[in-house]
Amino acid sequence: MTAESGVEGPDPSGDDRANYDYAGGEVQRPGLVSDLRTLVDGDVRFDEFTRELYATDASIYDVTPVGVVFPTDTEDVSAVVEYCAERGIPVLPRGGGTSLAGQTVNRAVVLDLSRYMDDFVEFDADERRARAQPGITLGHLNAELADAGLKFAPDPAWGDKSVLGGAIGNNSTGAHSLQYGKTDAYVESCEVVLADGTVTTFEPVPVEDLDDLADPNGDLEGRIYAAVRDVLDDETIADAYPDLKRNVSGYNLDYVIDRAREDGVADLPGLLAGSEGTLAVVTEAEVSLEPVPETKGLALLRYDDLLDAMEDVEPILEHDPAALEVLDDVLLDLARDTAEFGALVDEMVPAGTGAVLLVEFYADSDAEGRERVADLLADRAPVSETLADPTGDGVETDAPVRADSAAEAHDDAEREQFWKLRKSGLPILLGRTSDAKHVAFVEDTAVPPENLPEFVADFQAVLDDHDTYASFYAHAGPGVLHVRPLVNTKTGEGVAKMESIADEVTDFVVEYGGSVSGEHGDGRARTQWNKKLYGDEIWETFQDLKTAFDPDWLLNPGQVVFRADDPTDLTENLRFDPEYEFDAGFEPTLEWDNENGFQGMAELCHGCGGCRGHQDTTGGVMCPTYRAAEEESLSTRGRANALRQTMSGDLPDVEGDSEEFLAEVMDLCIGCKGCKKDCPSEVDMAKLKAEVTHEHHKREGASLRDRLFANVDRLSAIGSALAPLSNLATKVPGSRIVTEKALGIARERTLPTFERGTFVKWFRKRGPGVPVAGADRRVVLLPDTYTNYSRPEAGKAAVRVLEAAGIHVEVPGELTDSGRAAFSKGFLDQARETARKNVTELAPRVDDDWDVVVIEPSDAVMYQSDYLDLLGDSEDAAAAETVASSAYGVLEYLDAHGLDDAVDFEIPDEDLTYHGHCHQKATAKDHHAVGVLRRAGYRVDPLDSGCCGMAGSFGYEAEHYSMSRAIGEVLFDQVEESGGEQVVAPGASCRTQLGDRPGADDEPPHPIEKVADALAD
């Protein structure tokens, strides 16, 4: 392992002993790494750490690759493929690593095409065509097309993180496949690297030209065209394929045959669709585009039973919807118990509902959208008081009762709520921290919609026979159901159960004319069933085709089809198997309120890659370091995988709390908490980092700088007492250089100044402005370190606004330290003592009907949630719960209780750009400030921004300064694009970072200061 520094990520060094053949054993090729480095301009990384990062994807599998190459262009790809072909080394092209079937992990040299080969190449709006490299995310691609009102139509749920090359490799589609079909219909041409390193372009060619191109004894291209000609001449193939809109099992032969019959062309790009990187490596693609629909209409139909909903799918399809999705009672009931989705489910779905169908229509106008929904409801919904006259023409319908109740949505906000309900499924299923998990191995079956009721009933019977259960959800319209049985693969019994379920379900798939994969591909999970699905003859055709394209079977071997002597087994190479062991090496300090505690959280990441989003296409907080550097190791997935692999022995030479591990994996985690909210599984990397850093401090000690930052409240008190001399010290020539060399504090960073007249002193002298007698509410206003010693104006503004609302305010002088700094630096014992002191002081006040209000957002979250982690298993737990129940950020407090309604404001003529604190966003409390500012009369543009990159002490540390600024640049660009007259931010760190941005005169105000400015005299 090698230490990371700055925004460049890990030093791309590896050693030549890490050279592995396909079977995983050592081979005598000591020049492999050095040879590849001379051949390519991109990075070559064969170190153990990088290899383990690429051992997993979003599936249940774990296969350590030979190494990883990050090519910069087609020439790099060609060089690697040719070199490996000459030496019999497998190669695996990989994009976002979001595969659910395991097709992006293999014992091979991995080509990560997402790092450098992600360009949008060109666009022809008139022809509705675009060219792009394979590593571009679908979200980025569509963002480039948005102004022209066009899009790449296939819309997989994870399109903001999955890439174009992966969409081709998987033949991806999504919720709107009823409207658009699969990727194969949109791939017009592909620049590819063949198995021998040859670079060529595949595009549809007239069938009559195949004889001129085909040469079974010629070069590789000639043999490929000969194999395609043989496919088109085979009369048995078409009848062997199921009649489905959604089938991505096996090679895409039926599509190629249909294109030849209908259009007279041999569609080689279409053949690559769904080939999972086993036939060629796509290095650039031209795709056709579709117009973005003008508007949409949505209906939500509710049923007592899932099978009733399945019976209704086929009749609904007669209305030609663009999407038809299902969500069953298992997910609805789980969602009802979550903080994020509970209120939504209660509002939209009555208790006892067995399933819901979400039906969406595309329309050219709002009137058309409403009409199409009304037609559906007239035909499908029950006769009821609310739906007796669905069309509004005064005629009641006597349509047969199908749904038990229904609702509809037409404006953007309403439709978003409906889709949020549908998308609640995966986060809930992935949130299990127990050994038994909802495992993806039969989650992708597809059958003709008319067979769904019988198929689902039989599927449920299989689950019952195996004493488990699953949720049924997703794309009911085309017959694709996502079903993840609850299985514990850490036991031999669980592995056997998984295989038995898959075998029996496959039998039913074949019986009902379906496919084992309707969306997610074959990979390691389903390749073995293709022979049962298609029969021996088609299986042999797959083998022949693979051999023609890849004579030595070196391109992602074992996916789609395999050799008889090297079979792919869905039970092999499991991430969690009966031999798996986990040993943290220490007893956790924090309270881990989940199944399996610390281990459960360390194992929670399932690998979906949600942390690999880009701010310009995905928004949200997670993951700021990845967004700045686009390094897998800097994503939450990378850190979570490394932590688990270290503690399970996959990285045997490294301990999870060692200096090496912390430097390599945890050092650049800035504790933004974004993953706690944005990650579908809610992996809490900030908390994991605090735990392992604390253990390191216990064993190895801590640096002087870390101790100073952990005690920043005491240092600030001294700085305030010595002001203004303490402020002049930083202006002495050469002082910043000395500080950097002595303490590692970046010389470029503006250090905070101190006020001799602290906020506490000001309030003590002034006293409360609203008497306690007769006040509607009483508040303990906590003066955080920065507000008290460096920016008293924010505290004074908070007092003014609270008192304007008729609230009695008191400011205790002894509670300026929340413990946030110590917690963030991993000094958990110190943070716990601070927490214990504070809750002991505040809990009696709360019991006496006082509220606790905090100006600094990160301190507010400390009281609201982190104290529960610090004190959850102690005698102070009850006091911590009491304080948490009545702790608020100042703007949250005003908004949550409607207190600013009683305040008189002058209407300021000013536009504000609001950047919320990442800890507020992680706890879903960021919106409160915007509401208060708008009611105060401001025009507010709230940024969908991530962390500012300052992150407390992180941005002051010399080795982190470049990363801090790189993260900050993302925010600076958003502020610039917003165009507001004034940017406001509640976080002290955010204001420091924004104050240091180019062109800034000073740090921006806290939003409470702007609220105070708007108070009427």
Q: How confident is the model at residue 30 (pLDDT cuts 50, 70, 90)?
A: low
The pLDDT > 70 percentage for the chain reads: 93
Q: Angle 253-263/220-233 helices, nearest 10 degrees?
A: 80
- pLDDT-derived band at 17, boundaries 50, 70, 90: very low
Say how far apart CA 918 and CA 224 lie, in whole Å: 53
Helix (H, G, I), strand (E, B), or coil: what is residue 252?
A: coil
Give how far the C-alpha of residue 699 lies from the chain's centroid of Cα atoms, to the nearest Å. 34
d(CA 271, CA 281): 13
CB 198 within 8 A of CB 512: no
As a whole number, mean pLDDT of residues 468-480 equals 94
In this structure, are residues 284 and 121 in contact, taking their beta carbons and an 8 Å threshold? yes
Identify the three-state secondary structure at position 96.
coil
CA distances from 824 to 528, 670, 818, 881, 994 (A): 48, 9, 11, 21, 21
pLDDT tens figures, 550-560? 999 999 999 99
Q: Given this model, what pLDDT does residue 8 score? A: 37
Interval 700-706 mean pLDDT: 93
pLDDT at 665 over 90: no
- Distance CA(583)–CA(672), nearest Å, equals 27
Residue 381's pLDDT is what?
Answer: 60
Is the Cβ–Cβ distance between 821 and 850 less than 8 Å?
A: no
For 240-299, write each residue's pLDDT tens digit. Answer: 999 998 999 999 999 999 999 999 999 999 999 999 999 999 999 999 999 999 999 999
CA distance 914 to 1010: 11
In this predicted structure, the answer to whether residue 54 has a pLDDT above a threshold of 80 is yes
Question: Residue 677 — pLDDT band, cuts 50, 70, 90?
Answer: confident
Tokens of 269: 């790009």
Give the pLDDT mean for 307-313: 94
Question: Rounded to an integer, what distance in angstroms lies between the CA atom of residue 259 and that of residue 266?
Answer: 7
Give the number of other CB atoms < 10 A from CB of residue 452: 29
CA angle 661, 665, 668 (to 5 degrees): 125
Work out the pLDDT band at 14, boundaries 50, 70, 90: very low
CA–CA gap between residue 82 and residue 78 (Å, rounded): 6
Q: How confident is the model at residue 28 (pLDDT cuts 50, 70, 90)?
A: very low
**Predicted confidence (pLDDT) at residue 7 exceeds the cutoff of 70:** no
pLDDT at residue 289, as a whole number:
98
- Per the prediction, the chain carries an average pLDDT of 91
The arithmetic mean of pLDDT across residues 400-427, rounded, is 80
Residue 137, burial from CB neighbour count under 10 angstroms (0-12, 13-18, 19+): buried
CB 134 within 8 A of CB 95: yes
* HEC secondary structure over 141-194: HHHHHHHHCEECCCCCCCCCCCEHHHHHHHCCCCCCHHHHCCHHHCEEEEEEEC
> What's the pLDDT at 1001?
82
- Whole-number CA gyration radius for the chain: 30
Q: Give the separation between CA 804 and CA 814, rounded to whole angstroms.
A: 25
Instruction: Order across the sheet with 295-303: list the strands.
Output: 405-409, 295-303, 355-363, 323-328, 472-474, 482-483
Report the chain's terminal Cα–Cα distance, integer Å.
Answer: 63
Distance CA 380, CA 374 (A): 10
Confidence band (pLDDT; 50, 70, 90) for 24?
very low
Give per-residue pLDDT as tens, 138-182.
Answer: 999 999 999 999 999 999 987 788 899 999 999 999 999 999 999
- The pLDDT, as a whole number, for residue 722 is 95
Q: Are 1015 and 905 in contact (CB under 8 A)?
A: yes
The four Cα atoms 269, 274, 279, 283 give a dihedral, to 10 degrees, of 60
- Residue 572 confidence (pLDDT) above 60: yes
Helix (H) or strand (E) holding 421: helix 412-423
Residue 922 carries which DSSP code? H
Torsion of CA 785, 790, 793, 795, to 10 degrees: 10
Distance between CA 281 and CA 275 in Å, rounded?
10
pLDDT one-digit tens code per residue, 947-982: 999 999 999 999 999 999 999 999 999 999 987 789
Whole-number Å distance between alpha carbons of 618 and 481: 26
Q: What is the pLDDT of residues 415-441, one digit of tens each?
A: 888 888 787 667 678 888 999 999 999
The answer to whether residues 83 and 39 touch, using CB atoms and an 8 Å cutoff, is yes
pLDDT digits (tens, 9 = 90+) for 108-133: 999 999 999 999 999 999 999 999 99
The confidence band for 394, taking pLDDT boundaries of 50, 70 and 90, is very low
Q: Is the pLDDT of residue 474 over 70?
A: yes
| Tally of CA atoms within 13 A in the half-sphere of 889 that contains its CB | 31
pLDDT interval class at 13 (50, 70, 90): very low
Contact by Cβ (8 Å): 1, 660: yes
Residues 6+ apart with CB under 8 A from 692: 643, 656, 657, 661, 662, 666, 826
Distance CA 272, CA 99 (A): 17
Distances (CA, A) of 721 to 727, 762, 937: 11, 14, 39
Report phi then psi at 483, rounded to 5.
-130, 115
Which two tokens mark 673? 């908490």
- Tell me which amino acid residue 922 is: A
Cα atoms found within 13 Å of the Cα of residue 932, Cβ hemisphere only:
36
Cβ burial, residue 205 (10 Å; 0-12/13-18/19+): middle
Mean local confidence (pLDDT), 457-466: 97
Partners of residue 70 on adjacent β-strands: 43
CA distance 537 to 560: 15
Q: Which residues in 727-858 belong to E strands, given as ranges?
A: 777-782, 807-810, 850-854
8 Å CB contact between 225 and 494: no
| Residue, of 3 and 335, whose pLDDT is higher | 335
Residue 804 tokens read as 């304007």
Average pLDDT over residues 85-94: 96
Mean pLDDT of 454-473: 96
Give yes or no for a contact between 18 and 47, defined as CB atoms under 8 angstroms apart. yes
